[in-house]
Chains A and B, each alone.
Chain A
Amino acid sequence: MWAQIINALLGIWLMASPAILSSDKAAATNAYIVGPLIAAFATISWWEATRVVRLYSLPLGAWLLLAPWVLNYHNTTATLNAMLVGALVIGLSLVKGKVHTRLGGSWAGIWAKEPLHKQEAGKQPRV
């Protein structure tokens, strides 16, 4: 979970960074769009049942590595910031963290052949 707390903070930092780094317009707009998404995906991943949502940030992190070159950022600080945040987000999104709860086979358990919840239900006496 700590990794996703840092990711949420990185998303918020991205939202605030245009004002602090006085980024140019393209860099600012990009940060205003990508920042809230990263923060939201990271926050949703705080819970174990939705920990998988952290992976949604992977393409966003990759985009942050490319964006300065695709959108032609004129500000070196904004470029470095986007790439650094992008790299950190990719690394941290890959951290699954400890999962303490059992969730009956989780989302795959809705489709899997013999999911955990079905096996366990089979062992219980009918009431």
Chain B
Amino acid sequence: MNKGKEGIPPGWSYNPASWGQRLPIVGLALVGCGIATYLSLHQLKVFPTVWEPFFGNGSQKVLTSGVSQLLPVPDAVLGAAGYLSDAVAGAVGGRKRWKTMPWIVILFGLLVGPLGMISILLVVIQPVLYHAWCTLCLCSAAISVIMIGPAMDEMLASLQYMRRVKDARVSLWKAFWGYKSVQGKVI
């Protein structure tokens, strides 16, 4: 087998866990984390103003709204933490991690999916409840939605692998955590 093809899941034409597939998602997550951190610092009153080129005082309205303060910490702090965990979960593991560590791939998919869903929810809430948009909040939401698709292919490869593990009557538990002893038994 030549090196370029190594790590491609059976029946696939590319490897969804290759660095070329993963690094752009990690990069997007870091950009999202940067935006969310900036917005957090405004919500935590470190920065008195916030950059808003289009919607007047829209960002102010959204970032000080009741929904954004529902939890003990401002919502952008949670967003920044979410993006950071996306970036870490996207970066951990090698090019065969769909098989060698399904737990991180599935965790990655589960982190990216809900974060994107929450972003969409916030994009709906802003205009409906507060009649306001916030440019950087919309950018952050766009980033988290763009991340969903490319994260899902890797999760698909891991779930298909788990199916083959089950059919081979090998322990799903051990395969999920990437025990070395089970990896040779299933392709």
- Give chain A nearest CB distance to B162 CB in angstroms: 8
Q: Does any Cβ of B come within 8 Å of A50's Cβ? A: yes
Question: How many A-B contacts if CB must be within 8 Å?
Answer: 106
B5 to chain A, nearest CB (A): 11
A1 shortest CB reach to chain B, Å: 11
Known contacts A47-B152, A102-B11, A103-B153: does B123 contact A36 (CB below 8 Å)?
A: yes
Q: In the complex, identify which listed stretch (B33-41, B60-68, B82-90, B143-151) lies at the interface while the others stay far away.
A: B143-151
**In the complex, which residues of chain B have a beta carbon less than 8 angstroms from the beta carbon of A53?**
149
CA distance A47 to B131 in the complex (A): 33
Q: A43-B146, A103-B153 are in contact. Are A36 and B120 (CB under 8 A)?
A: yes
Indicate if B2 sits at the interface (CB-CB under 8 A).
Answer: no
CA gap between A43 and B186 in the complex, in Å: 34
Closest to B155 in A: A49
Residues of B within 8 A of A22 (CB): none
Counting contact residues on chain B (CB < 8 A from A), the size range is 20 to 34
Report A-chain residues with C-beta under 8 Å of the C-beta of B167.
118
- A97-110 toward B: CB 8 Å interface, digit per residue (1/0)? 00011111111011
A105 touches B160 (CB 8 A): yes
Check if A121 is an interface residue, CB within 8 A of chain B: yes
